[in-house]
Amino acid sequence: MFSFRECAPAEGVERIASLIPRLTILQDARECAPLARLLAAASAIHAGDTLGALSCYHALSASLLSSGARRVSGDLWLDYLLWLVIERPHAFAVMAADGRMEEAERIAMRADLAILGELATLSGAHLYRMAAERHRELQLKPRHAKDNISLMSSAVWSGGSVRPAPAANAKPQQEPEAPAPFLSSMPPESEWLPWQYGEMELRDAFVSDEALEEVYIRLLETPDWRALCDDLWNFFAAYGCAPFLKDRLFHVKQNALLPFSQHAGRYCALPFLEPERSALTEHAICFMRGETAEPVLLAGPAGTGKTALALSLAEELPELRIVLIPRGTPFDADALIAALAAQPLRFLLLLDDADPASGDVRTLFERRSAFSFPANVLPVVTARAAEPDCGIVKTVWFSYPKLAEFAEMVEALLSQRGSAVDPAAVRNACVDYQVDARERLSVAAAVRLAEELAVGNGYSGVV
């Protein structure tokens, strides 16, 4: 197998130029992509353009920094190659996540993995060495061809034989002279930004890290990446493909799934919501086991914790992914459901603050009644309607807390923040809040009051 660690500079440049155009499934066709920058750097080195090679190298380094690749290997270039293989929803990953194996995609993936395996042996130091030796070669090469008189004079002084210069109309036997380098000296290697930044480690958290870490290690330790093609298929078939490898919570925006950053466990410990939490969690566990796909309605007034409780399931059940569709968000239901159905994961599709009689909700449940709804998607609707009638069988009712329950929520929220509290002082603060605010006590109000108490806004009950 070819390796850039041992090749001659001219051979390395030619190899780069032959590898990158052959990528199919794993190509990154953006003009500013690192692969395109690498090809431009190789072309500049081959042409003897020292300044161009330096410029292309730093443009390549900039694109590696901004590519979005996860920092895991300790080397920017290897990070990018791992991103091409694992962190993008390319055709092979999508096929494997859907549980299909098509030989044409498998052959193309193996060919691409072989190419990336070779490129993984490349480093910034290798590119510098190629550019430096090409620059040295051009500096030592005569810039002008000698005429016959010069050739004979050189031969007489050196004692060699005379070989006349070829006729003007003769075909050249050598490649045309390259232009003189713009830079008279090669910039030192210290001026070429290094790609190494540390050791191999997981510097952030992905939900699939337990399996991802093994995949990273095997790719970094295996010389021929083709040998891991079937292992990668098994990985995507078990854990899905991007973006579901990284996050558990998503929301729909312009028909695209984007990570949702709200902290899911904010309300999971609240004692007031324990009966509702138990009912919803039990139903979700049955769904995860494949025992039911019955939709759920979380019904009750605004501010009673319906949405927060549903989102908390992402921490209660780590294998579950939650897709949030806020009220009034336009989305293509058929496309969304098809995308979720093509993954090996379980999804809770949360239609938040919805009208159970709306077209989107009815479309979802009409598909369910027609047995065309995927078994790995559980619809959950939060609504303020008291008695909706849209074919939803499982209903969990929410109501406003009483004063004692409200005080318990505030105490629980303060405890989650690590604050020691005086229950009597907290209860007095809750009574004052109810009198001053003149509004119904709610989960949202408990959060606001806990935040005020935590920073000591006039309540001596917080230690």
> Average pLDDT of 320-326?
93
Q: Is 134 within a domain?
A: no
Q: Is 463 within a domain?
A: no
Res. 35 pLDDT band, cuts 50 70 90: very high
**Do residue 283 and residue 349 come from a single domain?**
yes
DSSP sequence for 225-236: GGGGHHHHHHHH
pLDDT digits (tens, 9 = 90+) for 153-205: 555 445 555 455 555 555 555 555 555 555 567 788 888 999 999 999 999 99
Among 104-113, 245-254, 377-386, the least confident range: 377-386
Rank 2-11, 270-279, 321-330 by mean pLDDT and report only the highest. Answer: 321-330
Q: Is 181 within a domain?
A: no
pLDDT of residue 459: 45
**Do residue 449 and residue 327 come from a single domain?**
no
Q: Is 163 exposed, middle or buried (0-12, 13-18, 19+ CB in 10 A)?
A: exposed
pLDDT at 312 over 70: yes
Q: Is 46 within a domain?
A: yes
How far apart CA 417 and CA 449 sit, in angstroms, is 13
> Average pLDDT of 227-250?
96
**Do residue 382 and residue 449 come from a single domain?**
no
pLDDT digits (tens, 9 = 90+) for 100-139: 999 999 999 999 999 999 999 999 999 999 998 888 887 7
**Do residue 218 and residue 260 come from a single domain?**
no
> Average pLDDT of 223-241?
97
pLDDT of residue 20: 95
> Average pLDDT of 380-392?
68
**Do residue 21 and residue 45 come from a single domain?**
yes
Q: What angle do CA 185, 183, 38 make, to 5 degrees?
A: 100
pLDDT of residue 137: 83
Q: What angle do CA 203, 208, 213 make, to 5 degrees?
A: 55
32 compared with 321, residue with greater pLDDT: 321
pLDDT at 47 over 60: yes
pLDDT at 70 over 80: yes
pLDDT of residue 241: 96
pLDDT digits (tens, 9 = 90+) for 434-453: 888 888 888 888 888 888 88
pLDDT of residue 460: 41
Other beta carbons within 10 angstroms of residue 186's beta carbon come to 19
Res. 143 pLDDT band, cuts 50 70 90: low
The residue to which tokens 């949202």 are assigned? 444
**Do residue 216 and residue 285 come from a single domain?**
no
pLDDT at 265 over 60: no
Q: Is 133 within a domain?
A: no
pLDDT at 455 over 80: no
**Do residue 109 and residue 232 come from a single domain?**
yes
Under a CB-based contact definition with an 8 Å cutoff, are residues 128 and 4 in contact? no
Cα distances (angstroms) measured from residue 97 to each of 91, 94, 343: 10, 5, 5
Percent of the chain at pLDDT exceeding 90: 50
Res. 77 pLDDT band, cuts 50 70 90: very high
Q: Find all residues with CB under 8 Å of 133, minimum gap 6, and list them.
A: 9
pLDDT of residue 88: 94
Parallel/antiparallel/unpaired status of strands 249-253 and 256-259: antiparallel
Res. 461 pLDDT band, cuts 50 70 90: very low
**Do residue 360 and residue 267 come from a single domain?**
yes
Res. 267 pLDDT band, cuts 50 70 90: very low
Res. 303 pLDDT band, cuts 50 70 90: confident
- Domain end, chosen from 178, 207, 239, is at 239
pLDDT of residue 308: 86
Count of domains for the chain: 3
pLDDT of residue 412: 85
pLDDT of residue 270: 67
Q: Is 156 within a domain?
A: no
- Domain end, chosen from 239, 261, 293, is at 239
pLDDT digits (tens, 9 = 90+) for 188-199: 888 899 999 999
pLDDT of residue 30: 81
**Do residue 326 and residue 431 come from a single domain?**
no
pLDDT of residue 149: 54
How far apart CA 114 and CA 258 sit, in angstroms, is 32
- Domain end, chosen from 239, 272, 298, is at 239
**Do residue 352 and residue 442 come from a single domain?**
no
Q: Is 320 within a domain?
A: yes
Nearest C-alpha neighbor of 40 from the set 28, 55, 29, 26: 55
pLDDT of residue 369: 59
Model pTM greater than 0.75?
A: yes
pLDDT of residue 264: 42
pLDDT of residue 286: 95
pLDDT of residue 440: 85
pLDDT of residue 58: 95
**Do residue 265 and residue 229 come from a single domain?**
no
Average pLDDT of the residues of the chain: 84
The rounded Cα 418 to chain-centroid distance in angstroms is 33
Give, rounded to a whole angstrom, the gap between the first and last alpha carbons of the chain: 67
Q: Residue 302's domain spans which residues?
A: 249-397
**Do residue 295 and residue 418 come from a single domain?**
no
pLDDT of residue 329: 84
